């Protein structure tokens, strides 16, 4: 079974994502509410994929993405954000997440992206 962590400062968003992922056979092994927790959970759990919001208090998703990529350049980080400002999108592209989805997103598209990322990782 594929594993994931979900990071968002909105607890309702996390609950919905967890439910949708588990329905689609992706086991959520950790949840966090800011970028610092994302990095710590990644270090501890090494999930197949990280679902990461950008706009969060204290430590944001860009902080998390940057630090997770320092740990593992090939980490599968899927950004799910409502922040489409030019500055944020430019910074995200520099850090090269595995995928970027703008809220609201179609969960079936997200699940397909996860499955493709995992299949690519297995084949390399």
Quick one: fold of 2-123? Rossmann fold (3.40.50)
The angle subtended at Cα 74 by Cα 72 and Cα 79, nearest 5°, is 100
What is the residue extent of each domain of the chain?
A: 2-123
What would the pLDDT profile of 4-21 be if each residue is shown by its tens digit? 999 999 999 999 999 989
pLDDT at 79: 95
Calculate what percentage of the chain has a pLDDT beyond 90: 72
Q: How far are the Cα atoms of 8, 43, 55, 95 from residue 91, in angstroms, in the given order?
A: 19, 23, 13, 6
Q: Could you tell me how far CA 102 lies from the centroid of its own chain?
A: 12
For residues 35 and 115, the model is more confident at 35
């Amino acid at each position: 079974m594929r594993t994931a962590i979900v990071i968002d400062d909105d607890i309702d968003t996390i609950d919905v994502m967890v439910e949708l992922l588990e329905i689609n056979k992706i086991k959520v092994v950790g949840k966090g509410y800011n970028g610092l927790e994302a990095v710590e959970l990644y270090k501890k759990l090494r999930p197949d994929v990280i679902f990461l919001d950008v706009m969060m208090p204290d430590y944001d998703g860009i902080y998390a993405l940057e630090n997770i990529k320092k740990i593992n350049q090939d980490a599968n980080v899927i950004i799910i954000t409502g922040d489409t400002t030019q500055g944020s999108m430019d910074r995200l592209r520099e850090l090269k997440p595995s995928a970027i989805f703008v809220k609201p997103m179609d969960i079936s598209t997200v699940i397909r992206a996860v499955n493709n990322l995992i299949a690519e990782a297995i084949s390399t």
